[in-house]
Structure formats: C-alpha cells, structure tokens
Amino acid sequence: MICCIQRVSEASVKADGITAGKIGRGLLVLIGVEKGDGPACADWAAGKIANLRVFEDEKGKMSRSVLDIGGSVLIVSQFTLAGDASKGRRPDFGRAEAPAKAKAIYEKFINAVKEIIGEDKTAFGVFGAHMEVALINDGPVTILLEKRV
C-alpha cells in the first residue's frame, strides 16, 4: 500500500463535476492499493496516518496529529501510485491490485479512518472515477507512506 499524505489548509475532490468530498484543515491522503495488500494494511495505514505528527505546536515543532488538532482527512484512491516508471517512458502498473480487490481495501481503509477520527471528519472520493483534486498544501508538507506485504 502506498499513501501520499499532504498536510492541507483545505482540499476537495470532484467526480463528474460534482463535489464528492471536501475538508478544511487536515490531511489529503492519496492511496494506491498494491497486489497482496489486505485488511491489515488498511488498518495499519489508518492508524499511522491518524497519529502522524505533522502539525505544529505553539513552539513551531511538528508534534501534533490530525487527531490532536481536530482536523479532517480526505481520502482519494489513486492506482497510479503503484506505477513503476523506472524503465521506458510509460509507467508499468503491474503492482496495482485488481480493481475489485483494490476497492474492498480502499473501503476498509475509509472505514478504519472513520473509526479513529470520526465519520464527520472523514471525506472521500469515488473509487475508479476520473476525479479533480484541489488542495492548498500547508507548508508544504508531503509524506510518502509505504507498507510492503
């Protein structure tokens, strides 16, 4: 599983021109499900992201999590994170999980995040859809999180 986590002032995602999810201060998480990822990966990533200390305290030190600040999380599926562009000019997506299995893990991840930070603090895109993501990256702070099975 690969997650690209961005600390944001705000973020939104549209599918077919309709806003599917929108948050204020918090984290935008782009998630790519790879072959072999299972429910345990989704639970691990959800816990890690909810507790990741990337928000500054009063001393300017990154010591607070999205939970600590009462922030939100916007989750967007992005199979292209599993792409390998090390050879040739076209990325190889052979590491990406098949859509039906990936969707199940994506939904498990969403539910795990909801359990940790709350349903009202969790927003998400539309799996498999062409989406438009808008964000204001705060910092910028961007973290890559990978869990290889």
Domains of the chain: 2-86+98-146 (3.50.80.10)
Our CA angle for 11, 1, 116, nearest 5°, is: 60
Q: For residue 20, which phi and psi values (nearest 5 degrees)?
A: -95, -35
Which residue reads 């799996």 in tokens? 127
Contacts of 58 (CB under 8 A, 6+ apart): none
pTM to 2 decimals? 0.96
Residue ranges of E strands in 1-149: 2-15, 18-23, 26-32, 55-56, 62-64, 72-77, 122-124, 131-146
The sign of the CA dihedral 143, 135, 80, 51 is positive
122 as an active site residue: the answer is no
d(CA 2, CA 145): 6
Per-residue pLDDT of the chain (149 residues; tens, 9 = 90+): 999 999 999 999 999 999 999 999 999 999 999 999 999 999 999 999 999 999 999 999 999 999 999 999 999 999 999 999 999 999 999 999 999 999 999 999 999 999 999 999 999 999 999 999 999 999 999 999 998 76
Given the residues 19, 80, 122, 142, the one annotated as active site: 80
